[in-house]
Copies of this chain bind each other. A is one copy, B any other.
Amino acid sequence: MSQLSTKSHTEAIMGLAGAKSGDRGSPNPCEACAVRGLSVCSALEPEDLPRLDRIVSHIQVSPGQLVFLEGDPADHLFVLTDGCIKLYKMLIDGRRQITGFLFPSDFLGLAMRERYAFSAEAVAVSALCRFPKRQLEQLLVEIPALERRLLGVASNELAAAQDQMLLLGRKTAQEKLGSFLHSLLRRTAPRSKAQDRIHLPMSRADIADYLGLTVETVSRCFTRLRKDGVVDFTTPQDVLIRDLGMLSDLSGVSDEY
């Protein structure tokens, strides 16, 4: 694990260095942001946007690159504007638990503590807005609506975390896969053209580590779902939902999820 850490950490620093930090010259990027209106930033009045612009910088990461490592000083907060990021924790022997996947407009680094409680690594080529924590905290004081908004984001994350605990502790492998596809559909379909298609940017190993399973079990359950006519795969990364009802049943949704 240590060789992974150090190596990846270096990559991350290179990644950060390669970013167009500060974005001096581009006038007010936040106003034109793709996720403006969806993300935390929507809590701001248009006239407050320049204050965000002043402290934001933009970074790019490619698959496998780290945004930060568990235990790093938590100096920055992020908003994902494009791509996909995975968050994970590890045990000393290398067992890994992915605690979440982030998609555009998602907030990163909410854990407002001394150090990051998990690592963040790019799944796909991704773009993030980066805010220095100190300066953003100053903004929070001046703009209560922003703080309110963060509290709302935290609430949602907490609720999602509890759903995930239920999944990890009490659902079968089939149900886990069903729930996973179902929640992915709800999160990403609204912003895609086809309402019944899901793109899976992450590997089977990532899915396994998210659901507390192994690669083999994930694969077997997927083929089972396919043979049962619930889903179909155009490629291993592209899922077609053929029977949403069965998928919902499987995921154990009632009101939640």
Residues of A at the B interface (CB closer than 8 Å) are 71, 87, 89, 91-92, 95-97, 99, 110-113, 117-118, 140-141, 144, 147-148, 150-152, 154-159, 161-166, 168-171, 209, 211-212, 252, 254-256
Contact = CB atoms under 8 A, between A and B. Distances in A.
Nearest to A113: B155
A141 to B, nearest CB: 7
Contacts of A171: 91, 95
A254 B144 CA distance: 37
A212 B168 contact: yes
Of residues A157, A158, A168, which shows the largest number of chain B Cβ atoms within 10 Å of its Cβ? A158
Contact of A155 (B92, B95, B110, B163): B110
Copies of this chain held together in the complex: 2
Given A117-B256, A151-B151, A110 B158 contact: yes
B166 A165 contact: no
Given A92-B252, A140-B148, A144-B147, 9 more contacts: A91-B171, A96-B170, A97-B169, A99-B166, A111-B159, A117-B162, A147-B147, A154-B155, A168-B212
B147 A111 contact: no
A237 B164 CA distance: 29
Contacts of A111: 155, 158-159
A156 B111 CA distance: 7
Nearest to A115: B255
6 nearest CB pairs, A to B = A169-B212, A161-B161, A154-B154, A168-B168, A97-B166, A117-B159
Given A148-B147, A151-B154, A159-B113, A165 B252 contact: no
A56 B116 CA distance: 35
A162 B165 contact: no
B92 A254 contact: yes
B89 A163 contact: yes
A245 to B, nearest CB: 15
A144 B137 CA distance: 12
